Amino acid sequence: MKLRTIALTIHRSIGILLGLVLLVIGLTGSALVFSREINSLLNPQLMQVVPQGERLSPEAVLNTVHSAFSDMELHSITLPRTSKEVYMVALKSPKDEWIDVSLNPYTGAILGSQQWGHTLMSFILYIHMYMLMGEQVGYKFVGVCGLLLLILVVSGLVIWPGWRNRIRGFRIRWKAPAPFLTYDFHKVVGFLAAAFLLVIASTGAAMVFRSEFESATYWLTHTPLPRSPVSTLVAGQSPLQVAQILHRADTTLREGKNTVVMLPHEANGVFEVYKKLPQDIDLYGLSKVYIDQYSGKVLQVDNALKAPLAAQLNNLLLYLHNGAYGGLGMRCLYVLIGLVPSALLITGIFMWRNRRNRAKFDKPFRQGRRQEAEGRR
């Protein structure tokens, strides 16, 4: 009973302090489950074209973007996965602003651009990740909220009445007065969503504190941390073209399809080519090939399907967090799970008010009974 009392106090305290914050994080998280689809629906002119023949080379596309945005740094290029998809080039400004530029893969025409934080879905993502508190403070704050959500869920499981009586734990008294119905709804919904909330909270916190989580997982699995490959500097030699890099990547992990090329930004930087293997759950794949930007030598291959356990755990964080690991059905379920904090906050507020009102009227009642007893004596 002492443990249950402590858990109840913790549960109420965190719920009161962070209920509204968790509501916002949950609602924005639900919207982000289908962020790609929503963005494509809102901006179809930037996502699809009519096939017209042969595609332009990635180099030609990068040259077009560099000419149009000469004051920005080329960061990466996303390759079309189908004949109707576009090239997408990511740019970074000196002020750390990010822009995605869409180009017709057949004509090279710039179809438009989207700036981070200036589109509906990126703004929702900004709220979800930073709570409008800035990238430094807000990101850590959301990570701490994830840890507190873990405690909130665990404390809720401790006080769940179903451990003593299963029927009582899952019973909803639909015809009972509002206070009882509210309590039943709160306990049942909270318990049914607990496992998913634990996964979402833990993976969210792990992504915020990724360096600490990565170090811990590699240490626990007795796996050495991977080293970042670097290119060997060659005096007077320019970096290879993207087409050459893709050709080299094609000979590595042949069963995978090239999807994204991360461009080198330092003199000793490397090309990172993302590969989508048939078994990958991500649209663009989780495997990578690191290639020397001067010689074209393959420096490292990260096959996500054969990676050490620690690497696989780190690779899966995002997909466990947004439900992508289970297909369309799981993603739809995650949308509903994102609404759970709202339901628990509303029912929790009603339960708190009912408790305060009961205490308000119980106190004079108890005093009256005590005075009556004393008068009899």
Residue 102 and residue 46 in contact, taking contact as beta carbons nearer than 8 Å: yes
| Banded model confidence at residue 282, pLDDT cuts 50, 70, 90 | confident
Residue 332 has pLDDT above 50, yes or no: yes
pLDDT class of 1 with cuts at 50, 70, 90? low
User: What's the per-residue H, E or C state across 319-338?
Assistant: HHHHCHHHHHHHHHHHHHHH
The two three-digit tokens of residue 310, written as one number: 């620690």
Domain 229-307, second-level architecture: Roll (3.10)
Average pLDDT over residues 247-259: 91
**CA 75 centroid distance within chain:** 21
Is pLDDT of 5 > 70? yes
Using alpha carbons, select from 254, 260, 251, 235 the residue that is nearest to residue 298.
251
Least confident of 145-159, 219-233, 287-301, 351-365: 351-365
Q: Are 197 and 337 in contact (CB under 8 A)?
A: yes
271 vs 117, residue with greater confidence: 271
Nearest to 32 by CA among 129, 175, 107, 152: 129
What pLDDT score was predicted for residue 217?
94
Is pLDDT at 26 greater than 80 in this prediction? yes
Write the burial class of residue 151 (CB in 10 Å: 0-12 exposed, 13-18 middle, 19+ buried).
middle
Token pair of 264, please? 């080198």
pTM reported for the whole predicted model: 0.85
Tell me the domain boundaries of the chain: 1-43+130-223+326-377, 50-118, 229-307
Residue 117 has pLDDT above 90, yes or no: no
To which H or E segment does residue 78 belong? strand 73-78
Whether 229-307 and 50-118 are alike in CATH topology: the answer is: yes
Q: Which pLDDT band, with edges at 50, 70 and 90, does 358 fall under? A: low
Share of the chain above pLDDT 70, in %: 94
pLDDT tens, position by position, 306-317: 999 999 999 999
Above 90 in pLDDT, residue 141?
yes
For tokens 């899952």, name the residue: 170
**Which residue, among 97, 112, 122, has the nearest Cα to 65 in the 3D structure?**
112
| 298 closest CA partner among 266, 275, 276 | 275
Beta-carbon contacts of 52 under 8 Å, excluding residues fewer than 6 positions away, are 106, 107
pLDDT digits (tens, 9 = 90+) for 172-195: 999 888 888 999 999 999 999 999
Cβ pair 153, 198 in contact under 8 A: yes
Which of 23-32, 135-144, 186-195, 352-361 comes out lowest in average pLDDT?
Answer: 352-361
pLDDT at 207 over 80: yes
Q: Indicate the average pLDDT of the chain.
A: 90
Res. 251: pLDDT tops 60: yes
92 sits in which H/E element:
strand 87-92
Query: To which H or E segment does residue 19 belong?
Result: helix 2-32
Mean of the pLDDT values across residues 115-136?
90
Q: For domain 50-118, give the fold.
A: Nuclear Transport Factor 2; Chain: A, (3.10.450)
The whole-number pLDDT of residue 369 equals: 46
Per-residue pLDDT at 362 exceeds 60: no
